[in-house]
Amino acid sequence: MTDQVAGYAGAAWEREYDGRARATAYGMDTPSPRLKGNTGVFELGLSILPDADSPLTLNLGVQGYTDKRQGVSGSFEANWAF
């Protein structure tokens, strides 16, 4: 994009063959979620360097999930290199 702003995109596919969580509370079983199946994950984001000499880098991203897990999430990250 520019010398200080770079974009990125990503895609992934997840396959859970037999994921099962088990837990107890006070000696009793709790409901167990199952995630068996496929999930597509897509991501778009920006990596921003505020100044060419700055040790600070900012990353902003958004992820989308489809099929077994559905939804949208976002991320913000600040890195300081020294």
Domain ranges of the chain: 5-80
Burial environment of residue 64 by CB neighbours within 10 A (0 to 12, 13 to 18, 19 or more)? middle
Can you spell out the DSSP letters for 52-79? TT-SEEEEEEEEEEEESS-EEEEEEEEE
pLDDT per residue as tens digits for the range 30-60: 887 777 889 999 999 999 998 878 899 999 9
Quote the percentage of the chain above a pLDDT of 70.
99
State the pTM of this model.
0.68
Beta bridge partners of 60: 46, 76
Q: How far is Cα 62 from Cα 57, in angstroms, rounded to an integer? A: 17
